[in-house]
Amino acid sequence: MRKAICTFVSYLFITGVYAQHVAMIEGKPIPTKEYLCVYKKNHFGSVHASYDSLESYLNLYINFKLKAIDAKAQGLDRDSSYINEVKTYEKALHAQKKAGRRNADYDLIMSEYKDAVLMFTLSEMKIWNTTQSNEDKLREFYSTNSDKYHQKAFEEVKDQVVIDYQAALEQEWIRELRKKYKVTVNTGELRKLAKQ
């Protein structure tokens, strides 16, 4: 009986170690391993970072995940063009023999790709297309923020106005997503990562 209890306690400890996560979105964890892999890929292979750097990048990653979740909530993952694009990418991966179907890295690559396509598609719909097709909104934004443009004519600074307006739309979208979906950051796990 004691042996069974020791085995069970060991199992819980080991499971706890491997079930670590850096954040949760709507109760779904972002595993530490996934986050470190993405962080490393986007920081020239380095995983040694300060807490502030890890936290800052985690916020960007959470925003990315929130946009993908929002796209799924709108059914974009059931769109035939999305499904075809994912299948095409999957075939390309197999043709390059970059990953096998039962490989953990393959699962991470595919998950990240799927989320990126969803995020891009919804960003295009909510931000880029809206900005390009609505000059009235651009002019309104320009008028509200004219001091920022040093009183230059709209036509002179239109490109910058577009960039700034897109950034403002994205910030508002992120605020809405963070209100809509519960996000919890595991600061203890981030502190452990910063000490490594």
Average pLDDT for consecutive 10-residue bins of the chain (196 residues)? 43 45 95 91 82 94 97 96 95 74 76 95 91 88 94 94 95 96 95 85
For residue 195, what pLDDT is reported?
78
Q: How many CB atoms lie within 10 A of CB 28?
A: 11
For residue 96, what pLDDT is reported?
79
Q: How many CB atoms lie within 10 A of CB 130?
A: 14
For residue 102, what pLDDT is reported?
58
φ and ψ of 3, to 5 deg: -65, -40
Bin 46: left if φ > 0, else alpha if -120 < ψ < 50, else beta: beta
Closest CA to 82 of 68, 94, 64, 96: 68
For residue 11, what pLDDT is reported?
39
Structurally, how many domains does the chain consist of? 1
Question: One-letter amino acid identity for 4?
Answer: A
For residue 100, what pLDDT is reported?
53
For residue 17, what pLDDT is reported?
40
- Residue 18 sits in a domain of what CATH number? 1.10.4030
Closest CA to 64 of 23, 14, 7, 106: 23
Q: How many CB atoms lie within 10 A of CB 10?
A: 10
For residue 19, what pLDDT is reported?
52
Tell how far CA 84 is from the center of its chain: 22
**Which residues make Cβ contacts (< 8 Å) with residue 76, sequence separation at least 6?**
82, 118, 121, 122
Tell how far CA 45 is from the center of its chain: 19
**Residue-range definition of the domain harbouring residue 8:** 2-195
